[in-house]
Amino acid sequence: MSDRRADTAALGRSSTMRRLALMAMCLWALAVTLPFIWTVLTSLRSTREIFRSPFGWPDALWPGGAETGLLENYRKAWLEANFPTYFANSITVVAVSLVLILAVSVPAAYAFARLRLAGKRFLLLYILTGLMVPAQLILVPLFFQYAEWSQALTAALHGPLRWLGYAEPVVSLHNSLAGLILIYVALSLPFSIFVMTGFFRTLPTALYEAAILDGCSEWQAFRRVMLPIARTGVITVTIFNFIGLWNEYLFALVFINDESLKTLPLGLASITIQANYKTDFGLLFAGLVIVMIPTLVVYVALQERITRGITVGALKA
Amino acid sequence: MRAMNAQPTRGADAGARLRAATGTSAAPTPTAGAGSRPARGADRGAPGRRPGGSPLARQQRRFAILCVAPALILFTFWVAVPSVRAFYYALTSWDGLTPPRYVGLENFAAMAHQGDVFGVALKNNAILMFVPAAFTLALSLGFAAAIHRGVRGARLFRVVFFFPNILSAVAVSVLWLLLYSASDFGVINALLKWMHLRSSAFEFTNSRFLVWSLIPMLVWSSVGFFMLLFLASMQNIPETLYDAARLDGASSVACFRHVTLPLIWETIVIALVFFAIGGLKIFDQIWVFEQQTARAESNTMATLMYSKVFYEYRVGFGTAIAVVLFVMILLATLLVMKLRPKEALEY
């Protein structure tokens, strides 16, 4: 008897709890979504409308109600504010970085997990210490190191470049997408190698041995047999690095100066500063939406994989 | 040196066949079966086989070196060397142009003495480590528990809550900069006015309040991530434990307190490490809110380092701050990891 009473009491309490939890979660969902809806709506209003009141339907959505077109802010952001350039740079940097990260980290992880190599445990440990190094620690030394390397490269390539017809050849890793990409690749290695090594260790050896038996070379065994089964690990590493690099700000800020080389986060940050002294907030709202849309599209398309990739990746690191 | 197939073999005699086929095994293969294991172990240690002696082993070693070399080179010159250099720079006085001058621990002493600048940055880091962590932890644990117990629309909540987490810190900061605006379009100020909480606009983004204004934003963007982290951990708990607890008359709160919480403790500790590292490293958000200038009231260690090096050309002092930041991250991680359970709970 008493057992049953306790049970119903617990149930009763739990259903109130459940209702409370549901309410809290609905409120939170509103708190997350409303700012985005507000941003999109406001981006469709002219700067003058924006200063009239924070809320309000875009005038351009009323028939004959607006002095400017609905997408005026977007037209300006796209044609006058260099957003196409920022996009192209971000896509280039992230795509090349991801390809290089995979090309470097996957074979290395495979060797650390599977192949015989003297001192490989020490070497792996050496690379994994990189997991503890914050970007801030290497930022400044890397900046001056790049200056030294650029000087050395310029000196070394002076002759050949002159010969190729460059008048006053200067090779610089500063203010260059290639220089930034190399930093991104190197910084992503410890995490990527860590995840991939763990992954290769879980794969059965029998397949590898069968491949060798069938006369595959080491490269073929890796490429044809091990790599295809390691796909899940590769996807995790790709997603984790993609999100991190697409959003990276600090290194881009230090190493890129030219307007024509800025990535999206850099571009958005400089638009923000311009909006403040030109008081062109319509442009800023549109720019913000432009920056968020690709992330949203990728998220909706790959939602399961992204959430899994990020949480699994984070737990491992 | 062990034979080339150092990996444990699954198939009963795959290793033996492999060695036989490739000619790496000098000894004749013993008969397959349970009894062959010790024999094979002995065979591995057999004398007369030199490392790299067989062409296959040599091929594997060459392949392995090719595999790890690019990673080692990149890591060494882009991560390891700069890290070591950072410790050297921290001991110098350097403007970045003329040769650096060795000053010993002077930079660190300066940090302690000019308590005002560095101290404020440190205090701001501490605030950003602890305060958002408390709110985020409470909300994400609550939400995760609700989803775990089966709340309606769980899938939608997961999708929506997580989204801000994958946006760039810059985009999130610009969004909140607009929400917080003290101009006529600032939504939050409009709401405060509408609720009669304030008659004039509050300057959320003023340097003096900035650190506190960042807290709702940080919680807003990270709750979804931690919720999923905890949820994944909760879903590993076998349902039978809850059944048993309920049979014993435990309420849902008691279930959470005595079953869920102890079993996800390790994940909570990991989350605390994230909060500590995040609070110490924070840079992007402040840099966007402050429009790329460093202000004494809103500095963190990272923004202070940036402005010292790139605006004031005090490279040695700036790098010394980075070294302190690095050491603090190490210490915080080690300290928090001490909270881990001594032995893994069995369930």
CB A273 within 8 A of CB A67: no
Q: With 60 as the cut, is the pLDDT of residue A4 above it?
A: no
Least confident span in A92-96, B58-62, B162-166? B58-62
**Terminal Cα-to-Cα distance of chain B (whole angstroms):** 40
- CA of B59: which chain A residue's CA is closest? A218
Q: Between B133 and A233, whose confidence is greater?
A: B133
d(CA B44, CA A220) in angstroms, rounded, equals: 26
CB B121 within 8 A of CB B301: yes
Query: Could you tell me if A104 lies within 8 Å of chain B, comparing CB atoms?
Result: yes
CB B140 within 8 A of CB B230: yes
Contacts of B331 (CB under 8 A, 6+ apart): none
B205 closest CA partner among B295, B131, B119, B278? B295
Confidence of residue A305 (pLDDT cuts 50, 70, 90): confident
CB A263 within 8 A of CB A89: yes
Residue B92: phi, psi to the nearest 5? Answer: -125, 165
CB A261 within 8 A of CB A89: yes
Confidence of residue A251 (pLDDT cuts 50, 70, 90): very high
Residue B303 to residues A250, B115, B215, B325, Cα–Cα distance (Å): 10, 16, 17, 11
Inter-chain residue contact A134 with B330, CB threshold 8 Å: no
CB B307 within 8 A of CB B286: no
Per the DSSP assignment, residues forming a β-bridge with B92 are: B102
Inter-chain residue contact A54 with B171, CB threshold 8 Å: no
d(CA A27, CA B139) in angstroms, rounded, equals: 12
Q: What does the pLDDT average to over A143-164?
A: 88
A65 closest CA partner among A80, A77, A48? A48
Give percent of chain A above pLDDT 70.
93
Confidence of residue A221 (pLDDT cuts 50, 70, 90): confident
Calculate helix-pair angle for B265-281, B207-234, nearest 10 degrees: 150
CB A206 within 8 A of CB A122: no
Q: What is the pLDDT of residue B27?
A: 39
Calculate the dihedral angle through the C-alpha atoms of B158, B163, B164, B166, rounding to the nearest 10 degrees: 120
CB A105 within 8 A of CB A188: yes
Q: What does the pLDDT average to over B140-153?
A: 89
Give percent of chain B above pLDDT 90.
52
Q: What does the pLDDT average to over A192-198?
A: 93
Q: Tokens for A226?
A: 């091990």
Q: What does the pLDDT average to over A40-51?
A: 87
d(CA A155, CA A262) in angstroms, rounded, equals: 27
d(CA B4, CA B58) in angstroms, rounded, equals: 10
Q: With 80 as the cut, is the pLDDT of residue B154 above it?
A: yes
Instruction: Give the nearest partner residue to A31 out of B183, B220, B315, using CB atoms.
Output: B220
Number of A/B CB contacts below 8 angstroms equals 325
Q: What is the pLDDT of residue B131?
A: 97
d(CA A77, CA A92) in angstroms, rounded, equals: 20
Q: What is the pLDDT of residue B44?
A: 41
Q: What does the pLDDT average to over A156-162?
A: 83
Q: Tokens for B260?
A: 């869920």
Instruction: Give the ipTM.
Output: 0.90
Q: What is the pLDDT of residue A67?
A: 64
What sign does the dihedral B232-B237-B242-B245 (CA atoms) show?
A: negative
Q: Between B330 and B32, whose confidence is greater?
A: B330
Confidence of residue B7 (pLDDT cuts 50, 70, 90): very low
Tokens 């809320």 sit on residue: A55
Residues of B in contact with A104 (CB under 8 A): 70-71, 74
Interface test with A, best of B59, B61, B67 (most A CBs within 10 A): B67
What is the residue type of B226?
F
Q: With 90 as the cut, is the pLDDT of residue B169 above it?
A: yes
What is the residue type of B141?
L
Q: Between A66 and B281, whose confidence is greater?
A: B281
CB A183 within 8 A of CB A97: no
Q: Which residues numbered 111-140 in A keep a CB inside 8 Å of some CB on B?
A: 111-112, 114-118, 120, 123, 126-127, 130, 132-140
Q: Tokens for B153?
A: 């629309």
Residues of B in contact with A5 (CB under 8 A): none
Q: Tokens for B34?
A: 């349970």
Q: Which residues numbered 152-181 in A keep a CB inside 8 Å of some CB on B?
A: none
Q: Is B346 exposed, middle or buried (0-12, 13-18, 19+ CB in 10 A)?
A: exposed
Q: With 90 as the cut, is the pLDDT of residue B299 above it?
A: yes
Q: With 60 as the cut, is the pLDDT of residue B45 above it?
A: no
Instruction: Give the nearest partner residue to B67 out of A115, A182, A273, using CB atoms.
Output: A115
- CA of A5: which chain B residue's CA is closest? B249
Q: With 50 as the cut, is the pLDDT of residue B200 above it?
A: yes
Contacts of A20 (CB under 8 A, 6+ apart): none
Least confident span in A240-244, B195-199, B211-215, B236-240? B195-199
Coil/strand/helix, residue B92: strand
The rounded mean pLDDT for chain A is 87
Angle at the Cα of B86 (from B82 to B89), degrees rounded to 5? 125
Tokens 């440990």 sit on residue: A125
Residues of B in contact with A31 (CB under 8 A): 220
Q: What does the pLDDT average to over A139-161?
A: 90
Name, of A121-125, A200-204, B183-187, B294-298, the range with top average pLDDT: A121-125
Residues of B in contact with A123 (CB under 8 A): 68, 72
Q: With 50 as the cut, is the pLDDT of residue B4 above it?
A: no
DSSP string, chain A: -HHHHHHHHHHHHHHHHHHHHHHHHHHHHHHHHHHHHHHHHHHTS-HHHHHH-SS---GGGSTT--SS-TTHHHHHHHHTS-HHHHHHHHHHHHHHHHHHHHHHHHHHHHHHHHS--TTHHHHHHHHHGGGG--HHHHHHHHHHHHHHHHHHHHHHHHHHHHHTT-SS----STT-HHHHHHHHHHHHHHHHHHHHHHHHHHS-HHHHHHHHHTT--HHHIIIIIIHHHTHHHHHHHHHHHHHHHHT--HHHHHH---GGG--HHHHHHHHHHHHHHHT-HHHHHHHHHHHHHHHHHHHHHTHHHHHHHHHHHHHH-
Shortest distance between the Cα of B322 and any Cα of chain A, in A, equals: 5
Contacts of B106 (CB under 8 A, 6+ apart): B93
CB B185 within 8 A of CB A53: yes
Q: Is A111 exposed, middle or buried (0-12, 13-18, 19+ CB in 10 A)?
A: buried
Q: Between A67 and A29, whose confidence is greater?
A: A29
Confidence of residue A14 (pLDDT cuts 50, 70, 90): low
d(CA B209, CA B179) in angstroms, rounded, equals: 15
